């Protein structure tokens, strides 16, 4: 391929990546398809096509092009995406088998462990999903993403104490990761450490003050600490300008051991200063 052709290809891929970022999936698909017409095994074009089709809920149409790339040699990124698309195309056995092969390769490709664990969890195999993430962490102990995934899986299996320990380690390693803080806060609520949960939620809200879901979780933590006035103020912020969230706010008040219960949504709305639907 000449230098001019290489420049054209690079520009086309850049345009395709931009189209993906702006969710112009049909445009990204067309760019990738044009490249693949001249080179059916172009790795980057195959990845671009797969992501574009996946964005249009047509991921199964990208399987053949990814399989051609995989046959040419080991490529963790392509193989992991292939495994995910196979699972999405109701070929879970094939997809999980592909992901197992990728996760078994060394050096490890961390996202393959994440995808495999996620697919196993979807299939109801939670113990194996947890073991998969733990195996990944044994190979990549500094991976915050794996720690976050492990915390989520332990949360889903009600192992709140262990989930809190794992997520606390993830937070300490990456204190600026808001997804870690949010997940940690939710686990700490269930674990009964309401003060630490409130601290985690406040850190998230310091960056995203309009995150109403996180503010509702903060209210839960505050109710359980006996800080009813602060909790109710948080719920008033949740429903301000969003009356459709009144039901969520009323539930938070009623579910807390130190909250309030109203017999009608109208009464809850009047108390919180919202409007009953």
List the domain boundaries for the chain: 210-277
Q: Cα(157)–Cα(179) distance, rounded to whole angstroms?
A: 19
Condensed to tens digits (0 to 9), the pLDDT of residues 211-269 reads 999 999 999 999 999 999 999 999 999 999 888 888 888 888 888 777 677 767 777 77
Condensed to tens digits (0 to 9), the pLDDT of residues 190-216 reads 999 999 999 999 999 999 999 999 999
Burial 194-217 (b: 16+ CB within 10 A, else e): bebbbbbbebbbeeeeebbebbbb
What pLDDT is stored for residue 275 in this prediction? 52
What pLDDT is stored for residue 53 in this prediction? 98
Q: Cα(47)–Cα(66) distance, rounded to whole angstroms?
A: 7
Q: Cα(131)–Cα(31) distance, rounded to whole angstroms?
A: 40
66 burial level (CB within 10 Å; 0-12, 13-18, 19+) = buried
Side-chain half-sphere of 2: how many Cα atoms within 13 Å? 3
One-character DSSP codes across 228-251: HHHHHHHHHHHHTT-GGGHHHHHH
Could you tell me the pTM of the whole model?
A: 0.87
């Amino acid at each position: 391929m000449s230098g001019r052709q290489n420049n054209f290809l690079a520009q086309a891929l850049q345009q395709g990546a931009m189209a993906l970022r702006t969710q112009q999936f049909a445009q990204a698909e067309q760019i990738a398809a044009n490249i693949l017409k001249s080179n059916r095994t172009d790795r980057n074009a195959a990845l671009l096509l797969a992501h574009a089709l996946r964005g249009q809920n047509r991921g199964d149409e990208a399987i053949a092009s990814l399989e051609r790339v995989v046959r040419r040699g080991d490529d963790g990124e392509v193989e992991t995406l292939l495994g995910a698309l196979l699972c999405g195309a109701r070929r879970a056995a094939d997809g999980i088998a592909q992901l197992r092969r990728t996760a078994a390769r060394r050096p490890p490709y961390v996202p393959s462990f994440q995808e495999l664990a996620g697919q196993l969890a979807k299939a109801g195999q939670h113990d194996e999903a947890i073991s998969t993430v733990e195996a990944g962490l044994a190979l990549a102990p500094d991976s915050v993403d794996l720690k976050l995934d492990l915390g989520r899986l332990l949360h889903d299996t009600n192992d709140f104490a262990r989930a809190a320990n794992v997520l606390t380690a993830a937070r300490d390693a990456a204190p600026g990761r808001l997804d870690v803080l949010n997940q940690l806060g939710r686990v700490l609520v269930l674990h009964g450490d309401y003060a630490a949960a409130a601290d985690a939620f406040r850190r998230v809200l310091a960056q995203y003050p309009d995150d109403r879901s996180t503010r509702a979780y903060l209210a839960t933590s505050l109710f359980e600490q006996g800080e009813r006035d602060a909790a109710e103020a948080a719920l008033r912020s949740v429903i301000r300008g969003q009356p459709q969230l009144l039901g969520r706010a009323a539930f938070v008040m009623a579910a807390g051991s130190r909250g309030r219960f109203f017999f009608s949504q109208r009464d809850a709305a009047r108390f919180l200063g919202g409007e009953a639907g």
